[in-house]
Amino acid sequence: MAKAEDLNSNDGQHPQTGAEPRVASLYDYFEITLKTISAVVPALVFLFGIIQYRAQKEVEARQAEKDFRRTIYEKQFDYYTALSDTISRLMVIIMRPQRAVELFNSRDYIRTKENFFHMYYGKINLIESPEVERAIIRFRYNLEKYQQGDDIPESKLRQMGLAVSAECSKSLQKTWGLDSTQFKAKIIK
């Protein structure tokens, strides 16, 4: 029984090591806190780095998309401007006082009409809105009828040409998010 008492009365010593238990001091709490912080801080820094990296990639992706759209919008502006310019040159050539045979055989008319059809069947199809497409088709149809000698007044053809420019303007306003009340297309009748 002496042994049982010896085990129960170890006078505050650790039963296996025999060391006296220590009372946790402020230094011990500081040491534990410091070890915890030194383990958590690198993990937080790593996590913050990942979050920053992903945020940066999202910003870069949005900027790349914005740049791509801007390029497309600028091309649309260039193509619409070239189309409107070609149609206006056709109208000026048609308005010259000359006979139809001279008009349709003139180098200016043939070259400008070829340029129009080059755009009509080519690059304008890449960026045109449905409204612009319909206006171009109407203009082309009336231009061909006018050239064939059908009873299409020159004023109607001019109006169709201006309608193409007006639709191009509306399309650009929509594309660029502009206030349409600032840009009134002027159709001469």
Interval 101-154: pLDDT, tens: 788 888 999 999 999 999 999 989 888 899 999 999 999 999 999 888 888 888
Instruction: Report the alpha-carbon distance of residue 10 to residue 7 in Å, rounded.
Output: 6
Pair of tokens at residue 74:
């600028």
Instruction: Report the alpha-carbon distance of residue 55 to residue 74 in Å, rounded.
Output: 28
What is the pLDDT, as a whole number, of residue 27?
A: 81
Q: How many CB atoms lie within 10 A of CB 181?
A: 7
Of 82, 159, 164, nearest in space to 129 by CA = 164
What is the pLDDT, as a whole number, of residue 187?
A: 47
Instruction: Report the alpha-carbon distance of residue 19 to residue 108 in Å, rounded.
Output: 110
Pair of tokens at residue 22:
């220590």
Distances (CA, A) of 73 to 127, 129, 144, 177: 9, 12, 30, 11
The answer for 105, left when phi > 0, alpha when psi is -120 to 50, beta otherwise, is alpha
Distances (CA, A) of 160 to 12, 27, 152, 165: 106, 90, 11, 9
Residue-wise pLDDT tens digits, 20-52: 666 667 888 888 888 888 888 888 999 999 999
Average pLDDT, the chain: 84
What is the pLDDT, as a whole number, of residue 25?
A: 79
